[in-house]
Structure 1
Amino acid sequence: MSAPAHALPPRDPAIAGATPGLALTRQDPGQDALLPPALLALLVSLHRAIEPGRQARLAQRQLRQAEFDSGALPDFRTDTAAVREGDWTVAPIPAALLDRRVEITGPTDPKMVINALNSGAKVFMADFEDSTSPTWSNLLTGQRALIGAVAGDLQFAAPATGGKPGKHYTLKPYEQQAVLIVRPRGWHLDEKHVLIDGAPIAAGLFDVAVFAFHNARTLQARDRGPYFYLPKLQSMEEAALWESALSHIEAVLGLAQGQMKVTVLIETLPAVFEMHEILHALRSRIVGLNCGRWDYIFSYIKTLRAHPDRVLPERGQVTMTQPFLKAYSELLIQTCHRRGAHAMGGMAAQIPINDDPVANEQAMARVRADKLREVSAGHDGTWVAHPALIPVAMQIFDEHMPQPNQHAVTRADVHVSRDDLIRPSQGTISRAGFEGNVEVCVRYLAAWLDGNGCVPIHWLMEDAATAEISRAQLWQWLHTEGLHLDDGTAIDEALLQATLTRLPALLGNTTAMPGASKVDQAIALLDELSRSQTLAEFLTLPAYALID
């Protein structure tokens, strides 16, 4: 098979022909059509241009964390004060992205892609990161689904059940679809199936390059980008590295510089102190920042893991009303609107509870309250995880934001200091909160190891961020002296072991669970990570070694 007709042909003679230095460690059916020689050569040139900088930035992360572990606290940079104080704005926002009041997110399997694009949301964020388990098959299937979606010919036939034919899914006309934005994986992740000069390529570079190679020309013709969401940045230098990578891809594929637009998720504690700088580093292509609040909570725990005065209470008590989260959200709005960029709100992860109308209404009431808080604060849009939540969120934003966005809401009243952004939280740790972290982490991790990165648990659609919060809290609670549950029980390894031992009985009939066959492996991994003397940087790093 040849590359799809809508793929970009190589514009640089240097990328034609063989691809010396590259090795693929897997060979799946149809892989050669998806990864033709011109694309592989692009990956080689991209890796060689960017990998030294990526390794330098990852090393810098380790140095900064060592400073935090030694007692330092994150703060605004003195060397970039001129950027924060300067009078500048980002490039104009494309018409297709001016109104982003409700965005739906989810993995890149064909059914999800069709349903999300047809959902009535303004934007669909197709997620190769937190809601995709990065098996090679999942990644290739996801890229093919997006190629089909952009071409307009993506279809999905559900299997027959109970003697009845399965449902057939097709896309609505292009004009009725959500705008597509792709989230690649973060700088910390490798793509172990693509080796260049003997080293794995950065996973995010693989995700972006494959998508752009196949879809950029069609999207460019429609004034639809390509558009990307960039995750887990920690500094302006990491943003500048993405600028270099995207510029490299544009040059090789013959795109105008700045053609590919991005939104950056502010989901790490170090990044909140560099929002102006991140916008400035990407100012020719960035259109907004997003409050990635679940990963942000995880990053707060991880960054301040050695500070016993900043231990968070149980996960259910860490809501956006906590002062450090309120400060983060409001500072993001003020920063973005000063620079002419969108300030996107966070995720509503609720799933409709169809068999319990009372519980369902309570859940929807929480969604409405959260979205009202966001739009009242000045956010320009929000996220939902399920199509049923789109009308709920849309109604709130339509009522309180009749214009496409709220850039005119400058939030001059916001005055956020370093201490506001790291303020300790009040709350407790209950036995149910401790056991809930163990259960949710094991459930999610088992599904992830089995190839499923987006998992319904207790009427919430969970992705990797929830598991990261859960296991990071467990580690910090176990490694902070003198912590007790609210009933007086010491938080120690004995409590963890007792909880893990009881877990299989608590889960009941695990055969009905996503990832049922991986529960024991998930328990063993959580046990190991929780008892380790060092908090693993990301759960998905050791877990990635256990898939494919």
Structure 2
Amino acid sequence: MTSADPRTDTGTDSGPALQVRGEQLPRFDEILTPEALGFVAALAERFRGRRDELLQARADRYAAGRPGDHLGFREDTAAVRDDPSWRVAPPAPGLEDRRAEMTGPTTRKMVVNALNSGARAWMADFEDATSPTWFNVVDGQLNLFDAIRGQVDFTDERGKRYAVGTETPTIMVRPRGWHLDEDHLVLDGTPVPGSLVDFGLYFFHNAQALIDSGAGPYFYLPKLESHLEARLWNDVFTFAQERLGVPYGTVRATCLIETTPAAFEMEEILYELRDHSSGLNAGRWDYIFSMIKNFAEDAGHVLPDRSQVTMTSPFMAAYANLLVKTCHARGAHAIGGMAAFVPSRSNPAATAAALEKTTADKSREAGLGFDGSWVAHPALVQTCLDAFVAVLGDRPNQLERQRPDVAVTREELVDVATTGGEVTVDGLRTNVRISLEYLSAWVGGAGAVAIDNLMEDAATVEISRMQVWHWLRHGVRTADGTRVTEDLVRSVLDEVVTTLAAAADEPGGARLAAAREVFEQTCLVGDWPEFFTGYAYEHFLVQQGLVQQGLVQQGTSGTVPA
């Protein structure tokens, strides 16, 4: 591999070769070794076909129309739910106590801040908090490689150096979901699944070093929609361990229950991963987004302004209660959802409000039986710890706490109608503005962005753009009687773009134009794309990046192969 020709075939004599279409920057060769890429190629060759079949099953389900009508607890897996005897593996080293977990992208600065946060675990995120530019994908692997070996530090723009202390959280990695590809690594003319790239590179380089340190290769699994998708991950883990001589069961994974279909298969997902499972997480933001998607054609499932949908909303409370009950019945950790508040040094009132809301949120979760929870900012870690200490005391978790009082029905899980609240013009404007501000940052390479003292990532923005689509689809009337029409949305869009453009420099203006295009193509359309990331990735992270490398050429009607 050389920087002179990034289109290099890289593999081993014993396996398929990957075509590396990404630029070779300093130290990238430490991650993109022939052996590591050979391992990723072996994963792709073995599992990509099954991944494609499962994605097609998803697509068929949505294409058939009204997918929410068919949601329910599966009859063909009732035996798994009815068998009281099985349990998941006991907590792995470093995962016994998870009362406060930090999350965030794998940038150098975030790695240092997260490792110094005082959290019990850190979810290093290649998914919703990362814009998957080629640089971010490989640089993130480098930063984790260094962190695991105790050789990571950071110097800011003022020359101040930040080093990592002696006590650090257990690292857990969230690879991209099954639906995303990595277009910069190609096998047999087809991009490799991004999930296998993120998992494969991390596992290959770090599994043994993590084991030697007394921990192990631990993961979070996003966007699952069925137990069959969990089964595929389990087979990936088994294959990877066998391939590299890692003992079976060393890998542990926490599944995010962040899609409505997965909420009906929690036990089945735990069962499929039982030898590698470390529990379930209540991925609240994507769960709301998924609820809108699954009931996109149902005017009775229209949600109010995003800010008015909380974990105390009946359908969200039912989901949280079911998750705790399911996990503890099987000996698995139940991890609470993200506290997205961002403290502000310049705004003490906002900071006080953030801490108060976080305390209430985490106290509620601990009271429900969760064993720990997520925060998006280091300043919230202690608040989360305190809330769980108040319930747990010196215990590392509350796995022994069963919830015999919980008996959640299908109707309760999809009971959007009792959410309450209202749709407002201000809510519409906020959704548009947040989408544009975030998407402008995302196409520029930033996947976690503080807006209005909240940490926005891909999941929260999916809610914003999907809500606008849903309100528009059903001609919802706002609290003051205004009907949501395409003319109204475009008027708000023009207004927000004008305001943001006035404060943008030339590169910022270009990113804003890209953000507008992504919003229009994923919101102001008849048939909504499942994820904005697919369109945005192909048009603004891959094609533009490849143009810069000379791998494609810009034609009069778009980007075409060179």
CA contact (8 A) 1:68 1:303 kept: no
- Against the structure 1 CA distance between its residues 391 and 350, is the aligned structure 2 distance closer, same or farther, given a 3 Å change threshold? same
Opposite residue 486 of structure 2, the aligned amino acid is E
Output aligned runs, 1:65-84, within 5 Å: 65-69=62-66, 72-84=69-81
Give the SS at the match of 2:47: helix
Output aligned runs, 1:117-516, within 5 Å: 117-160=115-158, 166-173=159-166, 176-402=167-393, 403-424=395-416, 425-480=419-474, 482-507=475-500, 509-511=502-504
CA contact (8 A) 1:478 1:530 kept: no
- Against the structure 1 CA distance between its residues 126 and 508, is the aligned structure 2 distance closer, same or farther, given a 3 Å change threshold? same
CA deviation after TM superposition for structure 1 residue 67, in Å:
4.0
Separation in 1 of the partners of 2:226 and 2:191? 23
Between 1:135-144 and 1:24-33, the stretch displaced more is 24-33
Give the SS at the match of 2:185: strand
Separation in 1 of the partners of 2:70 and 2:506? 41
Opposite residue 392 of structure 1, the aligned amino acid is T
CA deviation after TM superposition for structure 1 residue 489, in Å:
1.0
CA deviation after TM superposition for structure 1 residue 66, in Å:
3.1
Residue of structure 2 equivalent to 1:24:
20
CA contact (8 A) 1:289 1:344 kept: yes
Opposite residue 407 of structure 2, the aligned amino acid is H
Residue of structure 2 equivalent to 1:12:
none
CA contact (8 A) 1:18 1:37 kept: no
CA deviation after TM superposition for structure 1 residue 171, in Å:
1.5
Separation in 2 of the partners of 1:131 and 1:360? 22
Separation in 2 of the partners of 1:367 and 1:517? 36
CA deviation after TM superposition for structure 1 residue 373, in Å:
0.6
CA deviation after TM superposition for structure 1 residue 68, in Å:
4.8
CA contact (8 A) 1:232 1:266 kept: yes
Listed one character per residue, the Cα deviations across residues 399-443 of structure 1 (whole Å, up to 9, x for unaligned) are 111111111221110110000000023221101100000000111
Identity, % of aligned positions: 44
Residue of structure 1 equivalent to 2:7:
none
Separation in 1 of the partners of 2:499 and 2:114? 34
- Against the structure 1 CA distance between its residues 94 and 306, is the aligned structure 2 distance closer, same or farther, given a 3 Å change threshold? same
Opposite residue 439 of structure 1, the aligned amino acid is R
Separation in 1 of the partners of 2:150 and 2:17? 35
Listed one character per residue, the Cα deviations across residues 8-40 of structure 1 (whole Å, up to 9, x for unaligned) are xxxxxxx84475442111232233332111112
- Against the structure 1 CA distance between its residues 221 and 62, is the aligned structure 2 distance closer, same or farther, given a 3 Å change threshold? same
Give the SS at the match of 1:329: helix
Opposite residue 396 of structure 2, the aligned amino acid is P
- Against the structure 1 CA distance between its residues 169 and 125, is the aligned structure 2 distance closer, same or farther, given a 3 Å change threshold? same
Separation in 2 of the partners of 1:292 and 1:210? 25
- Against the structure 1 CA distance between its residues 103 and 51, is the aligned structure 2 distance closer, same or farther, given a 3 Å change threshold? same
Give the SS at the match of 1:26: coil
| Contiguous gaps of at least 5 residues in structure 2 | 2-10, 546-562
CA contact (8 A) 2:518 2:532 kept: no
Separation in 2 of the partners of 1:71 and 1:451? 34
Separation in 1 of the partners of 2:154 and 2:506? 24
Opposite residue 21 of structure 2, the aligned amino acid is T
Listed one character per residue, the Cα deviations across residues 53-103 of structure 1 (whole Å, up to 9, x for unaligned) are 001100111122234526723100000000011121001111310100000
Separation in 2 of the partners of 1:382 and 1:71? 28
CA contact (8 A) 2:16 2:42 kept: no
Listed one character per residue, the Cα deviations across residues 96-124 of structure 1 (whole Å, up to 9, x for unaligned) are 10100000000001111011011100001
| Coordinate RMSD, CA, aligned | 1.8
Give the SS at the match of 2:504: helix
CA contact (8 A) 2:129 2:457 kept: yes
Residue of structure 1 equivalent to 2:6:
none
Separation in 2 of the partners of 1:70 and 1:85? 26
Give the SS at the match of 2:253: strand
The correspondence for 1:62, drawn from 42, 52, 59, is 59
CA deviation after TM superposition for structure 1 residue 271, in Å:
0.1
TM-score, normalised with respect to structure 1: 0.93
Opposite residue 471 of structure 2, the aligned amino acid is W
Opposite residue 381 of structure 1, the aligned amino acid is G
Give the SS at the match of 1:185: coil
- Against the structure 1 CA distance between its residues 122 and 205, is the aligned structure 2 distance closer, same or farther, given a 3 Å change threshold? same
Opposite residue 483 of structure 1, the aligned amino acid is V
- Against the structure 1 CA distance between its residues 285 and 200, is the aligned structure 2 distance closer, same or farther, given a 3 Å change threshold? same
Opposite residue 290 of structure 1, the aligned amino acid is N
- Against the structure 1 CA distance between its residues 513 and 188, is the aligned structure 2 distance closer, same or farther, given a 3 Å change threshold? farther
Separation in 2 of the partners of 1:497 and 1:201? 37
| Contiguous gaps of at least 5 residues in structure 1 | 2-14, 161-165
CA contact (8 A) 2:425 2:478 kept: yes
Separation in 2 of the partners of 1:240 and 1:201? 19
Residue 542 (1) aligns with residue 535 (2): yes
